[in-house]
Amino acid sequence: MRTLKLQVQVTVDGFMAGPDGAMDWLAGQWSDDLSEHVNALTKSVDLIVLGRKLAEGFIPAWASQPEGEDQESIDWMNRTPKVVVSNTLTESPWENVTVAGGDLTEIVNRLKAQPGGDLIVYGGGTLVSNLIAAGLIDEFHLFVNPTATGGGMPVFPAGAYQRLRLVGSRSFDCGIVGLHFEPARG
């Protein structure tokens, strides 16, 4: 069965977006060691899972060949197939993207059961919260930025108690700390 990885940048106080969805708290340019780490993390991935709201900005942003990003990352983001989880879209307005609607647990379990490499979810916030609440994330890769916002959109939704096991941690030259957790099952 395929593994579903969550990769998300967070504040030290646990938010994936600041108040009103602000993203100005991100540390900025990644250091080479962080880029290498993320490249290794995504090497086994052959499907990106996104929520509709994030997809509307994420997919066109990568398609525009964003300045400051390395070409290898741009190419990987653009050529890797994507599934957008949405109950409002019926078809994809983007290339290389499938829309999946319906029950989230059924969608994810169907994707995990298909042959292929790992899956990675980048967001959005509603999708991430629902995946966590349903216990569908197999690996949590939290990239903690040296910033606190005091509020915003939490990574872990209220009431979604989950015990995690630390698999690894690493600090990077740009000041971000990577934390790798798996659910503590049993």
The predicted-structure confidence for 90-115, as pLDDT tens digits, reads as follows: 888 899 999 999 999 999 999 999 99
Phi, psi dihedrals of residue 105, rounded to the nearest 5°: -60, -45
Please list, residue by residue across 8-27, b when 16 or more beta carbons sit within 10 angstroms of its beta carbon and e when fewer do: bbbbeeebbbbeeeeeebeb
Q: What is the pLDDT of residues 134-155, one digit of tens each?
A: 999 999 999 999 999 999 999 9
CATH for the 4-24+38-183 domain, from 1.10.287.110, 3.30.70.960, 2.40.30.70, 3.40.430.10: 3.40.430.10
Amino acid 23: pLDDT: 87
- Going by pLDDT thresholds of 50, 70 and 90, the confidence category of residue 186 is low
Amino acid 116: pLDDT: 96
